[in-house]
Structure 1
Amino acid sequence: MWLLVLLVLLVPPGSSCCPLPPLPPRFSFLLNSTDRPLVHFSPAGVHNTTTLLLSDDGSTLYVGARDAVLSLDVSQRDVISLKRKTDWSPAPSETDACKTKGKDETVDCPNFVQVLLSINSTHLYVCGSFAYNPHDAYMDAQSLSLVRTASKPNTEARGRCPFSPLQRNTAITVDGELFTGTTSDFRGLKPIIARHISKDGRPDVSQDTSISLLEDPEFVSSSFDPAEGKLYFFFSEVAKEYSFTEELRVARVAQVCKDDVGGQRTLQKRWTSFAKAPLLCQPPKQPPLTLLQDVFTLQPPGGTDTLFYGIFTSQWLMDSRSAVCVYKLQDVRSVFGGSYRTFDMQMHQLSPLQDRHSYLGKCGLGNATDAVLAEVKRSFLTSGSVKPVGGVPVFSTGQRYSRIAAMRTNTTDGKEHTVLFLLTESGFLHKVLLLAQGPRLLEEVQVFTQPQLLKTIVLSAAKGVVYVGTSEGVTAVPVASCQSHRTCSRCVMAGDPFCAWDLNRRLCSSVTPGATNMVQDVENSHISQECLEQTKVQNLSVEVHLNEVVRLSCSKPSNLATLKWTFPGERAEQLSVQSADGGLMFLAAPDTLGTFRCTSKEGGHEEDVVIYTVRQRALPRSPALPPTVKQYNTDTSDHRETATNPPEITENEEWVPLTMEPSRNLEENPPENPGHVSDDGENKVSPTQGATESDYGYRSDDPTTAGAETSGSDQQLEDVPDIKCLKEKSYFSELLVVSLLLAVCVSLLMLTGFFRWRQRKAGLKTSPLVTAEEAGEAQDSLESVPSLSPDSSTPELKVVE
């Protein structure tokens, strides 16, 4: 209840608590897209490649995996190859000991490498969970050979990396010393910020345990300030300064001094410089976001202020908002140099400190008095909070992010811009451009498919590549894919600071500093005249049969563009249906023939994407006409006809009269293969692919025919059409043969049925239907009939021909 009251108080009057909608990216690329090629490294037998370290020269990527450490050759942007692999797994006895503690053999008991850092120019420092019993070691950077760091490996690595492979931690090396933020016990309940491998005889230092300085923290990042010799640790923890029934987690930044050695009697081997401060991040008209997911330190170019880019989310899962807030190093210093809260040992509460003490948050208190160190021990939380640059996030959306990287780049006009790379929980890498008028989500690229609990991103600004490490392997994502923008206008409209249109080469390529032949307008996306002159519209010719379903495709240049079709007539628009992907479907008819134009509109700029010319497919091509052909003169005053004997018709051919419109331009040699490009450069594709090829008529080589086609008025042409007898292949003879065979078969069937009927009828007549006595009487009567012999007195019968 009190937590809801707090949120209401934190939200400004008139604001809305509704979640922000996800910002749509301008371009979307799925995994293994041809327009956005990625480089994957996922060898067999290697799992959980989630700890990454890039060498100083950018040619080698070190990977901490499960039971192994690898070095990868990334000197080329489009290739990742394995250089070395060192197995580093627990012994069977250590795995058995892990299982006896109630841990899963495959999930908890392997060695998950969680810390991988350069300790000097020749060696690496590695630390792994090692069957829930952390181990660490030195490694040769070239051969990856292991060198144990201590004689007691079972205890030496505690506090340097966590026991649990699923618990987040942070570590950084400065001048050969190791600074970590992690937990130091089996259950993961004892957080610690400590210095290890201390040099010059100094003792290792950690925070005081008599007071709870950290409340269930989740460390996400750490950074070093060489100017003041301080280290900063970023994490989220439970805020004990608020008394609520439900725990509220807030974002923090803690500081320690690099050379702190602790006090002489008070705070021995404990930090005398430890302090922490809240980090605020609240989108406009929205409740604040308090859970810190990741922080990226962007080092200054040429002496400007260091910036910290942090991802903030809500601690409640139903709230999917994310925001990126930016903090200046100078603002962090100012907060730690301000007022503090003090912890009441009796009341166990934090209250504002009345007086301001200059020594709080300072370095070099090793020789301070016990009274000063006692005050330092109690006053570790600042009264003020670190506020973001501008007071609001530089980017906020309704989608949750988990990792962040940032870089600066220069455009063709010499201006510097900041680009963010944000990893979503669903497996997409978002590229966001920060501008004065607001952020732009340029593109999203899918880099993995399965949900990932642990993942890491490492940015190589010099190579222009973002490396993403997950359980599925390592993926190299180029910061831009300029070749996917195929026209000048689309290249400029993309607004990508890494890409510009090369006027000489006529392609979209990476920005070359100082180049004068490149067109780019990141802030306004203004299309110049010289760019429009190099933007060519795709023209396609589609030839179809009547009553055929035609589909014309049209792809949006970007997710933010809208498509509009222009039709050859109002009737064609009524008979067409536009699909969700922008395509157009209709039934080929006389009213739907003509020119269809697909136009894209975005940000006030409108351009044609593709133009289709839909025509009716003509009859198949026939041989050229012989000179002896019967034709009519188009002159109606004298209907003279020239009659000659037509050429002999073969068995499979017949003469077919065709009526052609004399005013139509007829092709002499029509193409025979659909989908080809004609001599005039016009594309012709199949209707199922968006267009078809066909011929529209034929032009006779006979000069008399040609003259007939061009003479006379329109009315005369309508009254007396130009008739040409074309010798065309026919299937009449084949049809006649088939019909005759069918008739013969039917006749045979009928004859067979008739003969069977006659045989059955004859059998009925010869059956004994009378008795023997009746048969005898009949025979006697037949004998009494007079004979018709020649001697008979009956007249003679003659046959008359």
Structure 2
Amino acid sequence: MDSRSLLSLTVALLSVLSPCLTRLTPRVSFPMGSPGRRLTLFSSPDVSNTTTLLLSEDGGMLYVGARDAVLALDVRHKDVMFLRSKLDWSPSEKDLEQCSMKGKKKADCPNFIRVLQFLNTSHLYTCGTFAFSPRCTYINSETLAMSLNTDEGRGRCPYDPYQRNTAVIVDGELYTATVADYRGNRPIISRHLSESSRVDLKLDDTLGWLEDPTFISSTFIPHEEKIYFFFSEVAREYNFIDKFIVSRVSQICISDVGGQRTLQRRWTTFAKAQLLCQAGSELPYNVIQDVDILPPAEGAPADDTLFYGIFTSQWAVNSGRSAVCSFRLADIKSVFSGNYKVLNRDTLQWSARVQEKVANPGECGLHNASDNALRFVKENFLAEDSVRPVGKRLTMVSAEHTYSHLTVQRVQGANRRLYTVLFLLTEAGFLHKAVLLPLGAHIIEEVQVFEPPQPVKSLKLSVPKGMVYVGTAEGVVRVPTFNCSYYWTCAQCVLSRDPFCGWDPVSRACVEVSGTQSSLAQDIDGGNVEDVCSSVSLTHKTRFGPNKLPAAPCPAGELVSVSLNEVVRLQCPAASQLSQQQWERPNSRLSSDLYLELEDGSLSFVATPATLGHYLCLSTENGYRQIIAIYHVKQKSSPMTQSPTGHTRTTHTTQTAASSGPHTSVRSWPKTTEWRRTDTKLSVTNTQVTTRQLGTNLTLWTESELREAVFPAEESLLSPRCPHYLKELVVVSILLVLCLSLLITMSLCVLRQRYQRKTSPQAGPLPRDSNRETPEEEEALNGNEVFNKHSGSPLHGGQSSSLVCNGTLTDSRQHLPNTPI
């Protein structure tokens, strides 16, 4: 077997042995413009490519680097972001002409701001591509006034607006990772604006310290006095035919001033190591996309600092997947303090170190070391070990979404426990909010923030203001980190499993968790509604238990008037994207020969006497069952079966959990529907179709609202309103007696003629009695008289639910549904 076949077999075996991925479905989805998730957008016709973001320390001012401009946005107000000042900084016509002469597209020649950092308390330091001739300048942070003199931006800012770079300013000095030439072939990590006797430093271009890197992020660790850079590059230590990309973390010390003879004006503390986002024997997710830092919890050691990164894979078996891995600072330090590989300058091959260790690469203070020690660190800058993720496992992995950016926050729940919340930006334009749990990640919601495609984006989190800012090509979108008021019942609040939100039994509202509230109902780990919300519904259970229910009318629900042989469609909007919908009838079972369940959860059937009556749509999520909708289907021509509609209770909500458009709360019916069954006996040819939606908003029955719907007032309980068919039964009985009498009479006449042996012709065959009801009609007449029997599928845990005319709609566990129509 040749090496190529062996490699193919190895990849195939790894793909088979890899564990199955858990589908990560956002519980709630908010399309762009949805009223259920209020966003704030700043955009201007003369501003574009607002993708470089910088937040002030208090979160009240957002500085934006755009195309040919720098903006200062006031974001202190809750519902609006307004432009406080704007600085126009664009190339001249001559600069644009020279850029075009270099063969660049006209759209790429403006000045794209790529470096935007606080230099001190009064000024910003800004660099832009400036028509493929980078420039840098100083800007007053209050007035956005630009200094008259500009600096050359080579080595500080990329030439190409689509090349990724990173920069950070520490003590007035700029540390950057970018490319230092027009063609983008000279990657460089350098220091600029060095103060006092310090000199600017950079990597030696001839040493091969970087191999075609893509720079991602950089961060300063104060107690280490080091800056860490994150990037991906081609790995020369592996002998692969194709280019093998790996993710790296590198470090430099801010105290470095270069060597005295060896490595003059070069880094003496540069070292790099591989970041290995891999679980078990799976192929690694080897291409890093973004990184964010999570400081340690209060009282924890500084070495517990975590770095969360998004990784994708260059392997076809993992194509389209994204993984999140976290790395502890203590593990990174341990790898950098270990052994290093040695680079053979003649063969450009890496090997394990066999010579005596003269110095510790990456150690601060090596600028005072001997020439022998500096030559050692010059050739030994790649750590032998790889940095493995926390727990040696993936934090989360998604096969459905490709993530490009992330930011992370630590949140204290109502139980005083700390939870990690990730905000992840997808390539499709959605912002995912996920909480990390012991059993895996749970995506609380997704919010659409822009329309794809968006080649360059950015993400900033303001913890003091509780906002996430997304920089896009069209403008800046602000998304609140929590949306507690959207969950209008205790069950919905608990099922969301949002660490920011808890149910307040006093105000009966889902509110933000704060340190002063200790009685909020919340279960982030399990989402157990039965246990958490039991105290909220205890009073209701006591007053309205099954043994204490007064005689009451049947809940009419949504009234649907149809004609016989008409196709009826009853819609059942999902309570969330994690819930499962189910239809039930209180007095008969749903036969597959008569009913079709559509892909969107709705029910379709032909209106016949056997299919008239009540229908219940139920939703089950995480073991909790609730009623979404109640319909009463009646025949138009039967005035005696009209049900009162005054009991229909509608709660106006802002947005359904499964809405599919910005201005609608319930999915509209598609023109062509895919059926679940193709072998049905139901015929819909030449029939009229009636589609019945549950109003315009998804409304769930709460306990109090269902009680009001079933028991609107005491005086209304004196007169029963259950539909009855007494008059119809009397008429049918009389007709039946007449038919039987006529049949007996005719039979006696035939017998008499036979005995008399008449020779006259016999009468023709007796006509079929057309007035006799079919079994289905008799079942409909008898079944709809009293609405007190339930034959649907069993409840969770093997229990069954029931609906009684003299009570209210409950399950056998005596839990009233919490979702009104």
User: So what's the TM-score if we normalise by structure 1?
Assistant: 0.75
CA RMSD of aligned residues (A): 3.3
- Between the aligned partners of 1:687 and 1:327, the Cα distance in structure 2 is 57
* CA shift digits 1:237-283 (9 cap, x unpaired): 01011122211110001100011000111111110000100000114
Give the structure 1 partner of residue 132 of structure 2: 132
Amino acid at match of 1:64: G
Give the structure 2 partner of residue 530 of structure 1: 535
Deviation of 1:68 (Å): 0.6
Q: Kindly indicate whether residue 542 of structure 2 is the aligned counterpart of residue 540 of structure 1.
A: no
Give the structure 1 partner of residue 72 of structure 2: 71
The 8 Å contact of residues 250 and 291 in structure 1, kept in 2 or not, is answered as yes
Deviation of 1:475 (Å): 1.0
The 8 Å contact of residues 412 and 514 in structure 1, kept in 2 or not, is answered as no
The 8 Å contact of residues 77 and 463 in structure 1, kept in 2 or not, is answered as no
Gaps of 5+ in 1: 621-659, 671-676, 693-708, 721-801
Give the structure 2 partner of residue 511 of structure 1: 513
Task: Choose from 570, 580, 598 the match for 1:579.
Answer: 598
Given the superposition, is the C-alpha separation of residues 303 and 133 from structure 1 closer, same or farther in structure 2, using an over 3 Å criterion?
A: farther
Given the superposition, is the C-alpha separation of residues 222 and 590 from structure 1 closer, same or farther in structure 2, using an over 3 Å criterion?
A: same
The 8 Å contact of residues 570 and 692 in structure 2, kept in 1 or not, is answered as yes
Deviation of 1:535 (Å): 10
Q: Kindly indicate whether residue 310 of structure 2 is the aligned counterpart of residue 314 of structure 1.
A: no
* CA shift digits 1:287-341 (9 cap, x unpaired): 1111111111112232431100011111257711211110011111111111001
5 Å-filtered alignment, 1:209-228, equals 209-228=205-224
Deviation of 1:160 (Å): 0.4
Give the structure 2 partner of residue 373 of structure 1: 374
Q: Select the structure of larger CA radius of gyration.
A: 1
- Between the aligned partners of 1:456 and 1:314, the Cα distance in structure 2 is 21
- Between the aligned partners of 1:448 and 1:25, the Cα distance in structure 2 is 17
- Between the aligned partners of 2:90 and 2:425, the Cα distance in structure 1 is 30
- Between the aligned partners of 1:687 and 1:314, the Cα distance in structure 2 is 49
SS of residue matched to 2:176: strand
Deviation of 1:54 (Å): 0.9
- Between the aligned partners of 2:147 and 2:392, the Cα distance in structure 1 is 49
- Between the aligned partners of 1:285 and 1:240, the Cα distance in structure 2 is 22
Deviation of 1:165 (Å): 0.4
SS of residue matched to 2:368: coil
Given the superposition, is the C-alpha separation of residues 212 and 545 from structure 1 closer, same or farther in structure 2, using an over 3 Å criterion?
A: closer
Which range moves more in the overlay, 14-23 or 304-313? 14-23
Amino acid at match of 2:491: S
* CA shift digits 1:554-595 (9 cap, x unpaired): 111111211111114447645332222212233333322222
Amino acid at match of 2:143: S
Give the structure 1 partner of residue 463 of structure 2: 461
- Between the aligned partners of 2:89 and 2:312, the Cα distance in structure 1 is 36
Deviation of 1:500 (Å): 1.7
Amino acid at match of 1:115: V
SS of residue matched to 2:239: coil
Deviation of 1:347 (Å): 2.8
Deviation of 1:102 (Å): 1.0
Give the structure 2 partner of residue 146 of structure 1: 146
Give the structure 2 partner of residue 204 of structure 1: 200
- Between the aligned partners of 2:305 and 2:385, the Cα distance in structure 1 is 20
The 8 Å contact of residues 562 and 690 in structure 2, kept in 1 or not, is answered as no
SS of residue matched to 1:492: helix
- Between the aligned partners of 2:358 and 2:395, the Cα distance in structure 1 is 34
- Between the aligned partners of 2:390 and 2:174, the Cα distance in structure 1 is 31
Deviation of 1:16 (Å): 3.0
- Between the aligned partners of 1:423 and 1:303, the Cα distance in structure 2 is 31
The 8 Å contact of residues 227 and 252 in structure 2, kept in 1 or not, is answered as yes
Give the structure 1 partner of residue 799 of structure 2: none
The 8 Å contact of residues 181 and 219 in structure 1, kept in 2 or not, is answered as yes
Deviation of 1:502 (Å): 2.1
Give the structure 2 partner of residue 118 of structure 1: 118
Task: Choose from 588, 597, 616 the match for 1:597.
Answer: 616
Q: Identical aligned pairs, as a percentage? A: 44
The 8 Å contact of residues 59 and 75 in structure 1, kept in 2 or not, is answered as yes
Given the superposition, is the C-alpha separation of residues 566 and 138 from structure 1 closer, same or farther in structure 2, using an over 3 Å criterion?
A: same
* CA shift digits 1:9-34 (9 cap, x unpaired): 79997953699575222222211112
The 8 Å contact of residues 338 and 356 in structure 1, kept in 2 or not, is answered as no
Task: Choose from 214, 229, 248 the match for 2:225.
Answer: 229
Q: Kindly indicate whether residue 33 of structure 2 is the aligned counterpart of residue 37 of structure 1.
A: no
Give the structure 2 partner of residue 742 of structure 1: none
* CA shift digits 1:605-633 (9 cap, x unpaired): 2222222233345778xxxxxxxxxxxxx
Deviation of 1:524 (Å): 0.7
The 8 Å contact of residues 539 and 610 in structure 1, kept in 2 or not, is answered as no
Q: Kindly indicate whether residue 422 of structure 2 is the aligned counterpart of residue 403 of structure 1.
A: no
Which range moves more in the overlay, 546-555 or 360-369? 546-555
Give the structure 2 partner of residue 521 of structure 1: 523
Given the superposition, is the C-alpha separation of residues 710 and 576 from structure 1 closer, same or farther in structure 2, using an over 3 Å criterion?
A: closer
Q: Kindly indicate whether residue 450 of structure 2 is the aligned counterpart of residue 433 of structure 1.
A: no
* CA shift digits 1:188-243 (9 cap, x unpaired): 11011011111223111111223110001000000111112111000000101112
Give the structure 1 partner of residue 97 of structure 2: 96
Deviation of 1:442 (Å): 2.0
- Between the aligned partners of 1:5 and 1:515, the Cα distance in structure 2 is 61
- Between the aligned partners of 2:651 and 2:74, the Cα distance in structure 1 is 46
- Between the aligned partners of 1:718 and 1:507, the Cα distance in structure 2 is 55
* CA shift digits 1:691-733 (9 cap, x unpaired): 79xxxxxxxxxxxxxxxx9999x9799669xxxxxxxxxxxxx
Higher relative contact order (CA 8 A, sep 6+): 2
Task: Choose from 576, 581, 584 the match for 1:563.
Answer: 581
SS of residue matched to 1:137: strand
* CA shift digits 1:155-210 (9 cap, x unpaired): x2110010110100000111111100000100011011011111223111111223
The 8 Å contact of residues 3 and 246 in structure 1, kept in 2 or not, is answered as no
Give the structure 2 partner of residue 189 of structure 1: 185
Which range moves more in the overlay, 365-374 or 181-190? 365-374
SS of residue matched to 1:147: coil
5 Å-filtered alignment, 1:330-345, equals 330-345=330-345
Which range moves more in the overlay, 449-458 or 279-288? 279-288
Given the superposition, is the C-alpha separation of residues 710 and 340 from structure 1 closer, same or farther in structure 2, using an over 3 Å criterion?
A: closer
Give the structure 1 partner of residue 252 of structure 2: 256
Given the superposition, is the C-alpha separation of residues 5 and 420 from structure 1 closer, same or farther in structure 2, using an over 3 Å criterion?
A: farther
The 8 Å contact of residues 340 and 384 in structure 2, kept in 1 or not, is answered as yes
The 8 Å contact of residues 292 and 310 in structure 1, kept in 2 or not, is answered as yes
Deviation of 1:379 (Å): 0.7
Amino acid at match of 2:563: L
- Between the aligned partners of 2:555 and 2:273, the Cα distance in structure 1 is 59
The 8 Å contact of residues 540 and 691 in structure 1, kept in 2 or not, is answered as no
Give the structure 1 partner of residue 627 of structure 2: 608
Given the superposition, is the C-alpha separation of residues 30 and 84 from structure 1 closer, same or farther in structure 2, using an over 3 Å criterion?
A: same
Give the structure 2 partner of residue 476 of structure 1: 478
SS of residue matched to 1:590: coil
* CA shift digits 1:747-796 (9 cap, x unpaired): xxxxxxxxxxxxxxxxxxxxxxxxxxxxxxxxxxxxxxxxxxxxxxxxxx
Deviation of 1:2 (Å): 6.7
Give the structure 1 partner of residue 752 of structure 2: none
Amino acid at match of 2:241: T
Amino acid at match of 2:609: P
SS of residue matched to 2:434: strand
Given the superposition, is the C-alpha separation of residues 411 and 5 from structure 1 closer, same or farther in structure 2, using an over 3 Å criterion?
A: farther
* CA shift digits 1:57-83 (9 cap, x unpaired): 111111100001111111123322111
Q: Kindly indicate whether residue 84 of structure 2 is the aligned counterpart of residue 83 of structure 1.
A: yes
Q: Kindly indicate whether residue 154 of structure 2 is the aligned counterpart of residue 162 of structure 1.
A: no
The 8 Å contact of residues 155 and 178 in structure 2, kept in 1 or not, is answered as yes
5 Å-filtered alignment, 1:638-717, equals 678=646, 688-690=691-693
The 8 Å contact of residues 558 and 648 in structure 2, kept in 1 or not, is answered as no
Deviation of 1:443 (Å): 1.9
Deviation of 1:86 (Å): 0.9
Deviation of 1:481 (Å): 2.1
* CA shift digits 1:453-479 (9 cap, x unpaired): 111011112222211111121111222
Amino acid at match of 1:337: S
